[in-house]
Structure 1
């Protein structure tokens, strides 16, 4: 057994957030399920892929191994009564899973819990034994502790006289953990409490009302029953509801990703024993190949992402992929065999060697292993090797539609960048959820959000974003700013789909992702020493932070907090939660005011990194601008400063840098950065010949980078959002904004997929600006266009239209529908 770091688990908090005193804002440290409709709870769990352990009507699937104890179903709850301890047990055993149970303790002395991977010996006095997640109604407050019922006693926390010797090694540490007010007060003593237990191989994690209370590794049990407990207090009724399980591992690609067979684009004979096969672009897959019926021994297939001197690079840098698999000659069999790609153990880890990251996303066993590659070398093939002997089995989202989107403009390099980025999104759909390339195959919140934005603008039936959101709510990662990205993901999905029901099932869990639990009376987020050293990320890799100085109060973390509050207020309004919406807005206004007085340097006209430093990094200014935090009277100075800056950030932060420039009249600067000379732009990626975008601008900036990382594909969303100018204004695309940002481009045209059909844009930018716009039925658009020098108004379909000149834009008063032609005059 071994204790592991809480690092990744702490980031997956669902419902914990200390009260902040705003009337009407339900952000207490408990998920008070007393007032929540039970039907809503069941629908929410079903919507996230859980299976009921209890059907709400009877005790089908459960049994009582004791000759005493009463179990009844009352109003969709299981009620247990007894005068001695007993457990109600599932009929099935489970191995790896996430189980969720809500418990309501009776008043007075009470103790209960959820048994998991437990065992039953009907002949023993203590019939049920094994792991238990403790529900402790006493003043001891050890709810969420790990107890080994009828066997080894307390595991975490441990205590003298009630734990075996190995567990006593961490007695002081574990008791200190449960003395922490966040854990000690996780249980709502007089209401419903949600227990979530996750078992993955030897890793056991327990949460109470979203508070991680225990993360421990133990090998005593790999599978067993689930059970619920009555502690034996005579006359007391213990209540249970919303009992659900999600068996692990999940394999998201099974139902949403398909294998496509692809013929090679070139086959080149290197020598008598080696043939190089080129599939044109990198994809995640393996090989289908005709196997020689004659000969002896094995041949080899070398898979690679990179060439060196005309051959696959067998010692590529970083995490650029190379691998080799054998194929057997002389089998005597007719037909095509699958030659699997070599397995990288890190891509399949579920518990991990150190426990510092969530489980990797697995691909279906029926596929056999896959990896990213463009080339294969066939070694040991006797005689000529023909193209028809081999194909690549590539994995892509089943509903991917290459015709759903398009983009073309007067700059051919931008067109090439668009195609690179669009294909990067398609190629990285292989896992069924968005993953961080091929190094770990783990979803990360910021990576996923950038993938999500670009996926919406390149495909027309996107289910992967919502699936990834649910995955990350249960397998969150460690960076501070990654948590608010979950708010961004939910908001983006809501804007894309208009699905209020989907959002309502996830709304409460989003409150913790705002970072409110780290805020002070001034509304600003504090970063303690561990946050500053590890959790506050600013940018990645570390060398891309432009010298950012980490302080207790820093501008980047607070910018993300403020944007998360703004989006939460908007979603609360959309769901009719007016009290929450107002409370979020009040907190937002407080934080905005404090942000400006705390971080803005009047002497330079830009933002400092934080309190206690005069350093002003690119990041300290690009994030406030992107999130609209900069006051109107300060905007010109911040924008002017940013216009002078180069791309001193990673492809991740570049998403926000460019958003801020596009939104604040600096479209040509944004386009210049995308196509800039040097090695810090997408031009560099195109010039390299890559077919999927990279994790970093170059290996010298991140020596272990992936060459198949979709957070590097930001132009896939930036070009249609800003050059074509198409964004949703209301959820579900019932209204859109059309605001082209042409820079010095002469024309641009494209097709933007929406839930209601494609929006087609075609504009020219000469002495006047002319825009042809085709809107699908059900979409109305608010339109503004550039106001070139000398223009005096706007024509719509050749007739004068009411429009107001705002700065350098003509804003059309009337909302437009259908097909229209707009031209400045």
Structure 2
């Protein structure tokens, strides 16, 4: 088997760091090491893919290169004692990694640190260990988390005269100002445990202290070395260390969770004597296996593409719609099959970027060769006969993907096409092993991942990718304000899906900094400073989709996300026995919600303003509170009526929440949601279907986002909306032990489907005519509360042919008792 690859494309990418504001008022941004000791802390790290550097029992894997100093193991901790400086170092070297170490300084004068990529000179008389160190500074200077070059170049960041080389003094003022920021200066818990985290990828070094990023720096001096911990040399002082873990990078999630599937083409079309166009029917991420050309001499080309133009693959597609090319030679005399791939785009494989700091791209296994999204292959220069069996696409999908796990069909053929498009979009974008943003950067983003997660749960029956994506993002977060609360949404959705309290407990402390409470005022509302308003507050993406949103210090959209995240944090805290935290979160949510209504609702118009200080009301400022259940009961009708008069003035991302709000309003607004989904024009899923795409887009059309890609799963919201609302199945307790079945006919005459759950599939089949009739099959161990549409002149509900106790509430019949197993239910 032979491997061919063309030259790479070059691209660059920049993401800005998030600037945090004032200190939290309650239950926010704790020391990440404060409750991380013992077996619970150990298992928490193991569950997130870390390997222990210290087994808690002995010093296997460590050594002391000095003739002095003592290291002991005491109650699962490493204690260092000495009367002169020394370092305990690992026996193994490490290259790229994420390192975690908890440090507890002794009382009095104390200074320690974590050595990384360090070197050891066993022959040196004194300075045996030298190199990079993450400083743990117990003095009033407060430079903990600084980058120091031990026994070599001195202070790198911050830098200071007399202890830094001239090359670092150029940023002395800037670096000292950074460490004077109270957020960094106060990051260290002087009298307790402190979590130090160091990430090294290529020449990029990032240091965090208790979740606060203190240094991000590029330096090429050392690419590999040992890990070490320090005793500063104070006689009689004991330095304590625990929870020493490392995760070697790059992490390639697809290695264990994604498989290559060989696919036959659906057609081969001869364009001319030496050119064939091969169609695989749908776009997938992959490359091709090609029979060695038996005839001819010289070379040929293989073109890969997502888009056709005039019957040929578009060589210059718009935006980041993909095109690639690779070459092949004829007449080589070889036999068998070649694996041929277009080269990886540099932008979606880079791990660091010299122009700025951004999370690393998610890599795929090297053994695959590069993969790219394509539907068509054009064989240029092929001589002689070409049969379909000569070529296969090697497509990457989640190994445990089950096409039969879910289904949806209704009386509207267009909605069925939309479902098929969205379901396949979820399958096709599992190629990386975690949820990425399509193929432009291959970087997970929190909002993208959450929408992808919801739809993955609704279309597949063995979902592990959601939890893996959360773990990736907790260490590689991105910059938008609203993306942070999405991490709470992801954790809550995983808990509701799995019912796994242990999984939540192992990640609970990490979630606290994602609530935006550190930006709250005394009224419980999040504040946005000038930088937040200019860079971090997203509202919608791309910016043209914001419905003329007016950014102010107190922002309705950001605060809606904040309040919902706090409510969900309260549920998670209570589930894992953190009662005091749960009480504090609930109190904060109550305060913030009251302030939200008072400050942001416009009583004159009956809708929400974009923020304090403006009278403009965007659809985003209204459908988000509605979707999140923040709108008071007496105001729901007015907000819903206003929204029903609006068009789809938002992106496919925000449309998830727009549709959520309309469906859940309880007023029959599902009809409006369906109408928007299948509307004429270019701002609907009908437009995507009619375009011929086989994976959903990042934006409704190229004119709204000229650099958009055509393989973006956040555009696949109907994959979760149809099962949750049209069929009406949603969990009401963790692990799907109890559910609500609440179909929203939305003008449809019939719908049926299969909804995957961890307990087995739910089968629903309903018809909506003069009566509403539903067949329902629940898996073992599941109970359902049932709410059905009240048809005209209906006066009761029958289950399995028997009248049962039910109450009409508005336009719904609510069954008194829960149902189990297989039943037929009819409203008459």
TM-score category (smaller protein): over 0.9
Whether the aligned pair in 1 keeps the contact of 2:264 and 2:391 (CA below 8 Å) is: yes
Q: Which residue is 1:705 aligned to?
A: 708
**d(CA) in 2 for partners of 1:335 and 1:60?**
50
SS at match of 1:403: helix
Give CA-to-partner distance per residue, 1:378-397, whole Å, 9 cap, x none: 01111121111100000000
What is the Cα deviation at residue 341 of structure 1? 2.1
Aligned to 2:652: 651
Counterpart for residue 23 of structure 2: 18
Output one character per residue of 1:412-470: Cα deviation in whole Å (capped at 9) or x when no partner: 00000000000000000000000000000000000000000000000000000000000
TM-score by length of 1: 0.97
- Worse overlay, 35-44 or 170-179: 35-44
8 Å CA contact 2:18, 2:536 repeated in 1: no
Alpha-carbon contact 1:287-1:341 (below 8 Å) kept: no
Question: Tell me, what secondary structure is at the counterpart of 2:277?
Answer: strand
1:87 aligned partner: 87
- Write out aligned runs for 1:354-753 (5 A): 354-664=355-665, 665=667, 666-753=669-756
Gap change, CA 1:674 and 1:402, over 3 Å in 2: same
Q: How many pairs align?
A: 814
State the shift of 1:18 in Å. 3.3
Residue 786 (structure 2) aligns with: 783
Contact in 1 for aligned 2:436/2:442 (Cα 8 Å): yes
How far residue 299 of structure 1 moved from its aligned partner, in angstroms, is 1.4
Aligned residues of 2:33 and 2:102 also touching (Cα < 8 A): no
Deviation digits for residues 129-162 of structure 1, max 9, x if unmatched?
0000000001111000000000110001111111
1:293 Cα offset (Å): 3.9
Matches of 2:791 and 2:712, distance apart in 1: 39
* Residues in 1 aligned to 2:337 and 2:33: alpha-carbon distance in whole angstroms: 58
Give 1:295 deviation, angstroms.
3.0
Deviations 1:23-42 (A, max 9, x none): xx4x3542352x55421111
Q: Give, in angstroms, the shift of residue 297 of structure 1.
A: 2.4
Q: Distance in 1 between matches of 2:224 and 2:63?
A: 18
For residues 511-552 of structure 1, the C-alpha deviation after alignment (integer angstroms, 9 at most, x for no partner) is: 111100000000000000000000000000000000001111
Which range is displaced more, 639-648 or 343-352?
A: 343-352
Say whether 1:255 aligns with 2:260: no
Secondary structure in 1 matching 2:456: helix
Q: Is the CA contact (8 Å cut-off) linking 1:548 and 1:609 kept in structure 2?
A: yes
The DSSP-based 3-state class of the residue aligned with 1:692 is: coil
Residue 750 of structure 1 aligns to a residue in which SS? strand
User: Taking structure 1 as reference, are residues 616 and 529 closer, same or farther at Cα in structure 2, changes over 3 Å only?
Assistant: same
Other-structure match for 1:53:
53
Q: In structure 1, what is the equivalent of residue 43 of structure 2? A: 43
Kindly indicate whether the alpha-carbon contact (under 8 Å) linking 1:6 and 1:215 is maintained by their aligned counterparts in 2. no
Verify the 8 A CA contact 1:647 1:673 in the aligned structure 2: yes
CA drift of 1:592 comes to: 0.3
Q: Which residue of 1 aligns with 2:795?
A: 792
Q: Distance in 2 between matches of 1:279 and 1:638?
A: 46
Match of 2:69 in 1: 69
Moved more, 172-181 or 485-494: 172-181
Quick check: 2:14–2:358 contact (8 Å CA) kept in 1? no
Paired with 1:430 and 1:515, the residues of 2 have a C-alpha distance of 32
Cα contact 2:295–2:384 (8 A) shared by 1: no
Contact 1:112 1:135 in 2 (8 A): yes
Instruction: Work out the CA distance in 2 between the residues paired with 1:17 and 1:579.
Output: 23
CA contact under 8 A between 2:197 and 2:208: conserved in structure 1?
Answer: yes
Report if aligned partners of 1:9, 1:476 keep a CA contact under 8 Å in 2. no
**3-state SS of 2:405 partner:** coil
Residues 5 and 344 of structure 1, relative CA distance in 2, 3 Å threshold: closer
The structure-2 alpha-carbon separation of the partners of 1:682 and 1:6, relative to structure 1 and needing over 3 Å to count, comes to closer
Matches within 5 A, 1:20-419: 20=25, 22=26, 25=27, 27=28, 29-31=30-32, 33=34, 36-124=36-124, 125-419=126-420
Match of 1:819 in 2: 822
1:343-381 Cα shifts (integer Å, max 9, x gaps): 211011001242332100000000001100000000111
Structure 1 consecutive aligned stretches of length 4 or more whose deviation exceeds 3 Å:
4-11, 16-19
Please give the alpha-carbon distance, in whole angstroms, between the structure 1 residues aligned to 2:77 and 2:22. Answer: 27
CA distance in 1, matches of 2:336, 2:32: 58
Matches of 2:574 and 2:295, distance apart in 1: 71
Q: 1:579 Cα shift?
A: 1.1
Kept in 2, the 8 Å contact 1:9–1:475? The answer is no
The answer (yes or no) to whether the contact 2:259–2:396 under 8 Å persists in 1 is yes
| 8 Å Cα contact 2:22-2:520 kept in structure 1 | no
Query: 1-side partners of 2:380 and 2:110: how far apart?
Result: 69
**How well do the aligned residues superpose, as a CA RMSD in angstroms?**
1.4
Question: What whole-Å deviation, never above 9, does each CA across 1:32-55 have from its counterpart, x for those lacking one?
Answer: 52x554211110000000000111
Deviations 1:155-185 (A, max 9, x none): 0111111111111111111111111111111
Contact map agreement 1:8 1:476 (CA 8 A) in 2: no
Supply the distance in 2 between the matched residues of 1:610 and 1:603 (Cα, whole angstroms). Answer: 15
How far did 1:6 drift? 11
- 8 Å Cα contact 1:291/1:327 also seen in 2: no
CA deviation digits over 1:249-301, x for unaligned, max 9?
A: 01000000000000000000100111000000000000000012443222111
The structure-2 alpha-carbon separation of the partners of 1:640 and 1:473, relative to structure 1 and needing over 3 Å to count, comes to same
When residues 591 and 540 of structure 1 are mapped into structure 2, their CA distance, relative to the original with a 3 A threshold, is same
TM-score normalised over the length of structure 2: 0.97
Residue deviations 1:647-690, cap 9 Å, x none? 00000000000000000121100111111111000000000000
Asked if the contact 1:19–1:29 (Cα under 8 Å) also holds between the matched residues in 2, the reply is no
Q: Cα 1:247–1:499, aligned 2, differ >3 Å: closer, same or farther?
A: same
Structure 1 residues 655 and 277, CA gap change in structure 2 (3 angstroms):
same
Q: 2:22, 2:600 → 1: CA distance?
A: 25
Post-superposition Cα deviations, 1:554-597, rounded to whole Å, max 9, x if no partner, equal 10000000000111111112112211111101000000000011
Query: Contact 1:546–1:649 (CA<8 Å) still a contact in 2?
Result: yes
CA 777–802 in structure 1, closer or farther in 2 if over 3 Å, else same: same
Distance 1:376 1:319, change over 3 A: same
2:813 corresponding residue in structure 1? 810
Relative to 1, partners in 2 of residues 1:37 and 1:102: Cα closer, same or farther, differing over 3 Å?
closer
Structure 1 gap segments, 5+ residues each: none
CA distance in 1 between partners of 2:174 and 2:658 (Å):
43
The whole-number CA distance in structure 1 between the counterparts of 2:272 and 2:816 is 70
Unaligned runs of 5+ residues in structure 2 are 1-11
1:370 & 1:76 partners in 2: Cα distance?
45
Contact map agreement 2:72 2:79 (CA 8 A) in 1: yes
